[in-house]
Amino acid sequence: MTKIIGLTGGIGSGKTTIANYFQSFGIPVYIADDAARKIMQSAAIIEVIKKVFGNSIFENEVLNREKLAEIVFNDPERLKELNKIVHPAVKRDFDQWLLEHEAAPYIIYEAAILFESGSYKNCDLIISITAPVELRIQRVMERDNTTRELVLKRINSQWTDQQRISKSDFVIENISIDTIKVEILKILKILKIK
């Protein structure tokens, strides 16, 4: 049976870079945030989001993700409401994807809020990625062309590194590409993948 390796870390920790490196070894990778983005464009989900959050977050029938983010990252209750809409749909999408990869001995399930969403319960092993907060802030500001204040709100809406580490099997500190490659190779050897 396919083992699910959860890969998590706070925003800007470098999860996707590390997921891509695992993928280079032939391990299938599911990126929950990408799936959620796609799912949030489906007609059924858009209708529910409109009902819950109103039309003001849409421009020409297109969801304005920045406006939605501003609402949910300023109000934990509103974030919970959004998660109740999106998480079950991502779970269904992942279950379907997993069926397509059931021949693989391991898959990587990459999710920023692996613990917060409860998805960690489906994982056989968990890898947490950490990085210094200032480095994470800088990465996200550059990647998303956003402000420090918005990045901090997102960081504060997620579990801390310590909370994630306490429930993880492996921890990779993402400071340099060389360091993470060494750590990943160690994990692959333990899992007997390489």
| pLDDT tens-place string over residues 164-185 | 999 999 999 998 888 899 999 9
Give 28: exposed, middle or buried? Use CB within 10 Å, 0-12, 13-18, 19+: middle
| pLDDT tens-place string over residues 72-122 | 988 989 999 999 999 999 999 999 999 999 999 999 999 999 998 889 999
DSSP E strands in 55-144: the ranges are 58-59, 62-63, 106-110, 125-130
Indicate the SS3 state at residue 47: helix
Fold of 3-35+93-190: Rossmann fold (3.40.50)
| pLDDT tens-place string over residues 116-134 | 888 999 999 999 999 999 9
In angstroms, the first-to-last Cα distance of the chain is: 19
pLDDT at residue 1, rounded to an integer: 84
Q: What is the mean pLDDT of residues 47-74?
A: 90
- What is the band of 191 on the pLDDT scale with cuts at 50, 70, 90? confident
Q: How many CA atoms lie within 13 A of 26 on its CB side?
A: 5
Going by DSSP bridges, is the β-strand pair 106-110/29-31 parallel, antiparallel, or unpaired? Answer: parallel
Is the per-residue pLDDT at 194 higher than 60? no
DSSP E strands in the chain: the ranges are 3-9, 29-31, 58-59, 62-63, 106-110, 125-130, 170-173
pLDDT at residue 104, rounded to an integer: 95
- What is the band of 56 on the pLDDT scale with cuts at 50, 70, 90? very high
Q: What is the mean pLDDT of residues 142-148?
A: 90
Going by DSSP bridges, is the β-strand pair 58-59/170-173 parallel, antiparallel, or unpaired? Answer: unpaired
Residue among 164, 13, 191 nearest 108 (CA): 191
Q: Which of 49-53, 140-144, 190-194 has the lowest mean pLDDT?
A: 190-194
Q: What's the CA gap between 83 and 99, in Å, rounded?
A: 24
